[in-house]
Each structure stands twice: as structure tokens, then as C-alpha cells.
Structure 1
Amino acid sequence: HVWHWIDGGPTDLDNLVLLCVHHHHVMHEQEWTIIFEHGIPSFIPPRWIDVEQKPLRNIRVDYPLTL
């Protein structure tokens, strides 16, 4: 959950990001922020990692899935 369910966040696909256990803890412990741009999650690092806090994306999800 990007907006945690205990704080009233919905449990739907527009509020979910799939992370491994390690990165789930990194998001919470290092105070990263997750935003959605056109339905794709972007990750904003804390200031001590990037002073400008530029959103980062996993470029693998930017390519269309071909089956």
C-alpha cells in the first residue's frame, strides 16, 4: 500500500506497488515517497540520498509487455 490501509488508504490496484521484502523495509525505514505518474510508480528518495529528490522509475516497466 502506498497510502497505508491503516491510515485509510484503499486496497486497490491504484494504491499498490509490488516490492520485495528488502525494498519494502527500505521504503519505510529510509522515508522514501512513492507517487504515480500515468499509473506507473515513481520513487522519491529522501534528501540525504538526493537533495533534489528527483523521482526514480524502474525503466523495465516503461516498455510494453509483449507476449
Structure 2
Amino acid sequence: MRFVYFICFLVLFILGVIGLLLPVVPSSPFFIPSLYCLNKVFPGIVRRILSVKFIRKYIPKKVLERLN
């Protein structure tokens, strides 16, 4: 199951990067679910990412509660 979440993370992350490069495609709807999938595979990495105040202020509170 971890493999499926990792593949899901990669696909969503790549779509998020494409969303950053193309002004037509939004990136946030892809980065937030990719963070959730990454949390299922590597929870320690997500905790380290969310400890950065700059990143934390852009993530909705409901998502933060769900990940913790």
C-alpha cells in the first residue's frame, strides 16, 4: 500500500510543478494531496516540512489537523 501512496505522491507532485510553470493550471490542489500521500509513506519527512514556519502558514488548518 505504501507503494501506491508513493506513486500517487509522485504523480500529484509532478502535476503541481506543471501547475507552477503553466499559469492556466492551479498548483495548490495538487500539492496538498501530494503532502497527504507523502505523509502516509514517510511521516517524518512531512513533520520536518511542516515545522518550517514559511511553509506552514500557507497550508490550511484543516489539512494540518488531519496530518497531525
TM-score (norm 1): 0.22
Higher helix share: 2
Q: Which has the higher strand share?
A: 1
Decide which structure has the larger Cα Rg and report it.
1
Q: Between the two structures, name the one with larger relative contact order (CA 8 Å, sep ≥ 6).
A: 2
